[in-house]
Chains A and B, each alone.
Chain A
Amino acid sequence: MNPLPEWFRPVSEYILREGVPETLRMAAIAVVASLVIGVVLGTLMTIRFRPLQWLIRFYVEVWRGLPILVTVLFIFWLPAFDVGRHHVQLSAYQSAALALTLWGSAQVAEATRGAVQSIPNEQHEAAAALGFGWVGRQTFVILPQALRRMVPPLVGLLVNTIQNTTIAFAIGVNEVLQAGQRQFENVTSGLTGQPVAPSYAPFLIFGYVALLFFIICFPLTRLAAYLEKRLT
């Protein structure tokens, strides 16, 4: 009693098998890299040294100001270049992951700066009184408190990054949307030897792609809202 048509099974299995892992892996790489770079940049931004602040501010405003698609295309089309003795030519997958990381790290840097500055000054002074140096103060006293406040927005970042992996579609990375598109072309071309899928195929395929994202993102959005509530 399967209400779904015959042709849809291999389509949905392909998207699940090929697209979903690709999307999740890219999102995981981008979020972890964004966290590392963003927390460092955001902490450095709280140091009162103007040139450094301006430099990081510029980084943040550029990468979060540009549409991610523009960043993705730019990195993808950049000609190969040399770093030292290494010849660098980024693949589509790497280009997209890098673009998402530039965007994500800008978001994290700004969130870190806000969270660090929201920690009362007494905490800095108390830590200094205990004999911590700057690095010790940040690592053992300030950041643990600041990061706790950042957890809900970071879950939000994860949701956005998962959704933004679809932008890699533009350069041919086989994430969920691309996998759906390829299957859509497959079943409607008639080239696979199977009978051509009915004209409502795209409705079903893209609806299925949307459903997959919803199943992944909705629990995370609820989690972020719950954490936000518990924090206040």
Chain B
Amino acid sequence: MHVLASFEWSVIWDSQGALWGGFKHTMKAGVVGIVLAYLVGLVLGALRAHRIPILNQLAASYVELIRNTPILVQIFFLYYGLPVLGIHLDVFTVAWLSITIWGGAFMTENFRAGFEAVPQRLSEAGYALGFTRLQEFLYVTLPIGGRIALPSTINSAISVIKNTSLLLLIGYPELTYVANNIQSNTFRTFEMFTALAVYYLAIVWTLSALIRFLERRLALPEAF
């Protein structure tokens, strides 16, 4: 166990500042991506659950296209392919845009499933009260279906955060980029990846704990 015996804490210590900078970049792209992906997912999920003609099919095609191609290919397409059409995006724009497009597709599915799980009789009760379709959605389907969908959307948000690591390949200076850079200068592979793992697992495990908490708190009563 030569590796463990020569573990140099000072390597991690000395790169704390750089890693923190990378973490901030990860969160910057990640948070923008997650917020926008929630918006995309809510709107498209509602369109799909209510089977709005044409828009429903368009949203379904978008979801299938994104789900069945690797996100890294999507990133490359945005970064290298789009300039041909005269669309030049800088690295940060590609960063948040690519994970928004990817996360939006998964969240569309999460919300669609949640909205479709709302019992028919509840939305009928809404209409019986004289609600319009929009009112029915806002006051019945959204609160109940959103509650059902919430845990799975957080799962998608976790995946979005993890996918920000791929932005290393277009040179976005996020966590993995920073750690990988330091380790290729210092050859301190074990130390740098330990620090990197601590960062990622702290984010991912916190969000997983949030899912378990919400699942308990938001579980619908048995009578549903």
Q: In the complex the two chains form, is A207's CB within 8 Å of B72's CB? A: no
A170 proximity list for chain B (CB < 8 A): 168-169
Minimum CB–CB distance from A229 to chain B (whole Å) comes to: 13
B193 proximity list for chain A (CB < 8 A): 70, 73-74, 77
Q: How far is the CA of A65 from the CA of B85 in the complex (A)?
A: 37
A62 proximity list for chain B (CB < 8 A): 197, 201
Q: Which 3 A-B pairs give the minimum distances between C-beta atoms?
A: A67-B165, A163-B70, A217-B68
When C-beta atoms are compared, the residue in chain B nearest to A199 turns out to be: B84
B85 proximity list for chain A (CB < 8 A): 203
Q: In the complex the two chains form, is A214's CB within 8 Å of B65's CB? A: yes
B162 proximity list for chain A (CB < 8 A): 66-68
Q: In the complex the two chains form, is A210's CB within 8 Å of B69's CB? A: yes
Q: In the complex the two chains form, is B74's CB within 8 Å of A210's CB? A: yes
* Other-chain residue from A69, A81, A177 in contact with B73 (beta carbon distance below 8 A): A177
Q: How far is the CA of A221 from the CA of B63 in the complex (A)?
A: 12
When C-beta atoms are compared, the residue in chain A nearest to B68 turns out to be: A217
* Other-chain residue from B68, B72, B184, B200 in contact with A66 (beta carbon distance below 8 A): B200
Q: A65-B201, A73-B176, A78-B189 are in contact. Are A184 and B69 (CB under 8 A)?
A: no
Q: Residues of A at under 8 Å CB distance from B?
A: 61-62, 65-70, 73-74, 77-79, 81, 159, 163-164, 166-167, 169-170, 177, 181, 184, 199-200, 202-203, 206-207, 209-210, 213-214, 217-218, 221
**Is B59 in contact with chain A by the CB < 8 A criterion?**
no
Q: In the complex the two chains form, is B70's CB within 8 Å of A166's CB? A: yes
Q: Residues of B at under 8 Å CB distance from A?
A: 2-3, 64-65, 67-74, 76-77, 80-85, 162-166, 168-169, 176, 180, 183-184, 187, 189-190, 193, 196-197, 200-201, 204-205, 208
Taking each of A167, A184, A210, which has the highest tally of chain B beta carbons within 10 Å of its own beta carbon?
Answer: A210
Q: In the complex the two chains form, is A69's CB within 8 Å of B176's CB? A: yes
Q: In the complex the two chains form, is A166's CB within 8 Å of B84's CB? A: no
Q: A70-B197, A206-B77 are in contact. Are A213 and B183 (CB under 8 A)?
A: no
Minimum CB–CB distance from A54 to chain B (whole Å) comes to: 15
